[in-house]
Structures are given as structure tokens and as C-alpha cells.
Structure 1
Amino acid sequence: MKEFMFIFIGADYQELGLSPEEIQNLMGKWFAWIDELKAKDLYIEGRPLFPVAKTLRGPSAVVTDGPFTETKDIVGGYFIVKASSLDEAAQLAQGFPDFHLGGSVEVREVMQM
């Protein structure tokens, strides 16, 4: 099996104005998805990320606080999962609980070094 990273992109729950109950409901869906992947021995690891970042760009490595993008979308976290192919990994990513909020998942194979 190969390893794949799911990169979760979407709006911050607070920015969307979700109630504590809505956030709790969504977290339940996240944990259910993780449990499903673990039960199939496909989940390796994953973590949420804080929304604040610093970006270094250019030859001088200029530091910018952020994220500052045209949209409110942020990289909210990642999973590392096992799958036999990119297509299979994309199928596993269908469990992402935030599609209805406009979120997306970027699926990439992890290079072994």
C-alpha cells in the first residue's frame, strides 16, 4: 500500500458563524470518519492546523503573516492514509464532512524517502 495525504481546505468554523452545537455535530462526523478509516487499518495520522500562518517567499525569503488570500479558505488540517492508488485514496476522501460547507480535499501521494 502507498501513503496519501489529504489536505483539507475550507473556511474556519468560527468565520462561518456556526453554533457550538453545529461544530460539535461536525466534530462527531470527523471522529466517525477517522474511526471508519482506523477500522479498515487505513488511517496513519492526522491533525488539525491553527488558522494563523507565516509565509516565506522569494529569494530574500520575505516573511508575510497570514493567511491573506482573496477567499476565506484556509488549510485546516491533514490526514495520512493508506491506499493502493490515487483513485482509491480519492474514494476514501469522499468521507470528508465539510463538503456541504464548500470545503475541499486535495489528495496527494506521499513520496517515500
Structure 2
Amino acid sequence: MADTKQAERKAARLAREIKAFSGKHGGAEGQLAHIGQAGTRIVLVGEDGGWGDLVAPSYAIAQQAAEQAGLTLHEEFDGEFAAKVKTGPYEWTRMAGIQLGGPSNG
């Protein structure tokens, strides 16, 4: 019973964070990605192109949080969905730095 209550509280907390992100970015859509023992990543993409993510301890909790927040979920992070993401110089130099052994901006 305690595990169920704890899962419900975690889902509710994540739902509040999803709603806050959505409010800040004019709405949002998402995708759930299993990341092994760490849980499930909730990838968020705002209507303004802003993006972020949250991590839930399980797929079930991530799904429950998304439902509570009214988040539209995509099955995959495919081309059309990914095209909504806006990246800036920070992301490009960080990605290049990681790939090419240059500065990581970290």
C-alpha cells in the first residue's frame, strides 16, 4: 500500500512539473523513453520549441504523470516531432565538443 501511495505522489509531482513546463512554453507534447534501471525519461517539447526532460522511476509512473498533466504523447521521437525542437549555439557547440573531443561546455 505504501508503494502505491509513493508512486501516486511521484506521478502527481511529475504531472505538476509537466504542467509548469507546458505553461512556460505555450503547451507541450512528449515522448516516453525507457532508460534502463534508471526508469523512464519523459521528453518534453514546448510549442515554442523549448525542450526538456524529466525522469520517472518507472514507465507506469511516467505514463500516469503524462495522463494527469494532459500531455499528448508520441510513440517515437520521429522527424516531425523532433523538428519542433529549437536548439541554440550552446547545444550545437556542446554536441560538437562531445563528438570531436573539443570543449564540452560543461
Structure with the bigger percentage of helix:
2
> Fold conserved (TM > 0.5)?
no
Q: TM-score, normalised by structure 1?
A: 0.34
Structure with the bigger percentage of strand:
1
Q: TM-score, normalised by structure 2?
A: 0.36
The answer to which structure, 1 or 2, has the higher relative contact order (CA under 8 A, 6+ apart) is 1
